[in-house]
Amino acid sequence: MITQSNKIIIGFLIAISLSAISGISFALIKASLSNNLTQSSSENEANQNKDYQESKNIENNLSVIPPPRQKQTILTTQLLQQEEKKFKQGSEYFNEADRLLAEARDKNDSQSAIFLLNEAQKKLEQADKIMQEFEPNSPYYQSAQNYINYIPFYADSINQWKNYFTQLDTYQAKTHPWETTINNNNFIDLTYHNKQYVMAKAKKQSVVLTFDDGPSPQYTEAILDILRKYNVKATFFVVGSQVSQYCPILRRIYQEGHEIGNHSYNHPWMGRISSEEQQQEIFQTQSIIENCIGSKPRWFRSPYASQNESTLKIAHQAGLNTALWTIDTEDWRKTSTTNSIIEKALNYRSNNIILMHDGVEPNPNFKHPSASSSRSNTVQSLDIIIQRFQDKGFQFVTISEAFSSY
C-alpha cells in the first residue's frame, strides 16, 4: 500500500530521473553539435577567456616568458616547414628517377642506357627512404604512402629495361630477337631499340599523334572535333574496360577515319602480371573492340611501357604490332600546362610518335603520384600543335600509315 509520504518520495524520484534524462540528452545534443559544427561561440569565448586567464597568470608570475600557446605555434610551424621540405625532396627524387628512366629508354647504346637506369634506381631508393620517414600524424603521411605504393612498380620497370639493355649487349646491333619476324614483314616492334631502326624507314615529314586511355566521355569528343577541323588523322590506344562503357564514342573515332589501337583491358603493369593474365588483357580487348566497331586493331601499346618478352609474343599471336612513343608530352602530369605540352610536342624531327591522353588513369590503384585527373590542357594545346606542324609542311598520319612500307 502506498502511503501519502511514499507518493511524495516516488514523485520526487520521477522528477529527478526526468531531469537527469533531459540533462543527458541536452549533453548529447551539445556534443553532436560541437562534433558536426564548430564549437558554439560562447564555448569559444569561455576557452579564450580561460587561455587568457592562464597566460595572464603566467605573465603575472614570470613576465619575461612569452605565453606558452604562442611558443607552441612557432614550433608547429617549424615542424610543418621541415615536413614540407622533406616531402618536396622525396618527390623530387622520384621525379628524377622518372625522368632518367624515360631518357634511358630512348638510348641506342646499352652502356649509356644502363648508366642512366642505375642512376634512376639510386634516386628511387632515396625517394623511398625519405617517404618511409613520415609518421602517421604527419599531414604528408598519406601522400608519402602513395609514393611508397608506387615505387615498386617503377623499380620493376627499371629492371625490365636493364634486363633488356643487358641482353642487348650479347647481341650485335639490330639482332633483337624479333628482327627476323620484322624482316618477314609480320611483326613490327617499335618498343625496344628497333624503334630507331624502323623509324628511319618511315615516311618523311610525317608525325603520328596518339591518344591513350580513352574512350572517355569528358575529352574524346572535344579532341575529335579539333582533329576534324584540321582534317587530321590520329591513333587512339583504347582501354577495353572503357570501350565496354563508351562504345558509341569508339564508333565515332573509327567512323571519322582514325586508327584504333589496343591498350589492354584493365591498364595493368603488363610486366608484373602472369602470361595468362597478359593474354586475357590483350585478347579480351581485341574482342570488345571488334564487337563495337567490327574491326580489330593492328597495334598494341603497353600501359606505362611495362612489358616483357611474353607481352611481345602474345601481341604477335593476337596479330598486333607493338609501339610505345618517341615523345611524351607529359600531358598526364599535374604540373603540365598548355604551354609545356605544346613545347614538348613540337619537335620537328621527322616520324615522331607523340604521346597524349584523351582519358585519365582508368585504374585508381595504379594512379601515379604526379598524375593529373584532368585532360583539359591536352584539349587546349591541340589546335596550336596541329597548326605549327602543318605550317612546317608536316603530314599527320596514323601509325599504320607511317609504317606502311612494311
Residues that bind Zn ion (CB under 5 A): 212-213, 303
Q: Which residues contact 204 (CB under 8 A, 6 or more apart)?
A: 350, 351
Closer residue to Zn ion in complex, CB, 151/355: 355
Instruction: Provide, rounded to whole angstroms, the least separation between the CB of residue 74 and Zn ion.
Output: 46
Name the nearest CA neighbour of 318 among 304, 302, 298, 301. Answer: 298
Please work out, in degrees rounded to the nearest 5, the angle formed at the alpha carbon of residue 48 by the alpha carbons of 42 and 51.
Answer: 145
CA distances from 392 to 176, 278, 350, 386, 388 (A): 35, 41, 11, 10, 6
Provide the 3-class DSSP secondary structure of residue 117: helix
Residue 171 CB, shortest distance to Zn ion, in Å, is 29
Give the residue with the Cβ less far from Zn ion, 101 or 182. 101
- Residue nearer to Zn ion on the CB measure, 306 or 321: 306
Residue 161 or 325: which CB sits closer to Zn ion? 325
Active-site residue flag, 212: yes
CB of 232 or CB of 355, closer to Zn ion: 355
CA atoms in the 13 A half-sphere facing the CB of 271: 21
How many Å apart are CA 321 and CA 187, to the nearest integer? Answer: 5
User: Cβ distance 243 to 287 under 8 Å?
Assistant: no
Residues composing the chain = 406
Residue type present at position 99: R
Burial of 330 (0-12, 13-18, 19+ CB in 10 A): buried
Residue 402 has φ and ψ, to the nearest 5°, of: -65, -35
State in angstroms the smallest separation of the CB of 267 from Zn ion: 6
Coil/strand/helix, residue 113: helix
Is the Cβ of residue 87 or residue 154 nearer to Zn ion in the bound state?
154
Cα–Cα distance measured from residue 158 to residue 386, given in angstroms and rounded to the nearest whole number? 33
212, 213, 331, 358: which one is catalytic?
A: 212
Task: Please return the burial class of 76, using the count of CB atoms within 10 Å of its CB with bins 0-12, 13-18 and 19+.
Answer: exposed
Nearest approach, Cβ of residue 77 and Zn ion (Å): 41
- Helix (H/G/I), strand (E/B), else coil: 219: coil
Q: Shortest Cβ distance from residue 112 to Zn ion (Å)? A: 27
- Segment (H or E) for 112: helix 110-132
CB of 279 to Zn ion, least distance (A): 19
- Annotated catalytic residue, options 176, 263, 357, 368: 357
Give me the least distance between CB of 359 and Zn ion, in Å please.
8
In the complex with Zn ion, which residue's Cβ is closer, 213 or 281?
A: 213
Give the shortest CB-240-to-Zn ion separation in angstroms. 12
Q: Are 221 and 366 spatial neighbours (Cβ–Cβ below 8 Å)?
A: no
AA letter at 263? H
d(CA 260, CA 296): 8
Q: Kindly tell me which of 182 and 270 has the beta carbon lying closer to Zn ion.
A: 270
Contact 286, 280 (CB under 8 A): no
Let me know if 383 is a catalytic residue: no
Catalytic residues: 212, 357
